[in-house]
Amino acid sequence: MDIALVFPGQGSQKPGMAQDLAARYPAAAAVMAAADAALGFPLSETCYTGSADALTATEVAQPALLAHGIAAWTVLADRLRPHVRCAAGHSLGEFTAHVAAGTLAFDDAMRLVRTRGEAMRDAAAARAGAMAAILGDLRRPIDAICDDATRDTGLVVAANYNSPGQVVVSGEVAGVERVMVLAKEAGAKRAMPLKVSGAFHSPLMAPARDALEGALVAAPMRDPAFPVYANVTAAPVIDAATTRTLLGEQLTGAVRWTETVRRIAADHPGIVFVECGPGHVLYGLIHKAVPGAEVWHAGTVADLETILGKVA
């Protein structure tokens, strides 16, 4: 059996996340305690009992997702590690993937993603932006539509190529609104504004990228124990230097998730995707990109017990 670890990004967080894992598994509880120690505040309590609004804050959601993903992976690691061939993560999840691969120590990664979230929050406050999901098949490439909207009204780019028929655009408010109109004219079934605080994965995040790159330079890194597929290239990364560069570029670059999943499936025929973290967002995206792919959830005690029963 070959396994690809995959980790979700912002938007998958939810109240009560990781609470059952910490109550059931001492190893998961230790991860959540280590997250609190690394950050200097009780992140675990926010995960367990905090409101949806409290968890939505970018600077909270990102470390919360990393902690939950690594808590699940830590419980599974002894059993699954011999089968893992690669990893990937959607946006923030790429950092979690690098912790699982040993590129980053957990406490260093927690501080990095806290910095990342704060920098993204500050960049969004300094320059208003928006994002929108474009659903359905288009008669024109989304990049061409974004180019037209940028010329017409304001800067906008494709930010997340999530799955066939689902792309997220990001940029100045006027540009995003114009893309929504042009996409509907090009055949989109729906064009929906997203409830986000800024234009993530767009050039508007340049100040956040600068801040994150400074933190990445200072963070100790090792070559990953297995390849981690990068968001901005959809290609496997096997060294620390490239990891540093691409994790910085990710803030202003697109998340090429469809291409990433298809590349993993092509490189490792028959591979099983194991989604570590809350929710099932990646499950749906993977199935749309690679119909028939086997995807296991690893977010709750029930999920983990099922997996542990499958893998001897």
Q: Which residues are catalytic?
A: 91, 201
The four Cα atoms 263, 266, 271, 273 give a dihedral, to 10 degrees, of 20
Cα 195 from Cα 191, distance rounded (Å): 13
Collect contacts of 140-146 with beta carbons under 8 A, ≥24 apart: 140/186, 142/167, 142/169, 142/183, 145/179, 145/182, 145/183, 145/186, 146/171, 146/175, 146/179
Are the C-beta atoms of residues 273 and 4 closer than 8 Å to each other? Answer: yes
Are the C-beta atoms of residues 86 and 205 closer than 8 Å to each other? Answer: no
Q: Which two tokens stand for residue 70?
A: 């690594």
Cα 281 from Cα 133, distance rounded (Å): 14
> Using only C-alpha atoms, what is the Rg of the chain?
19
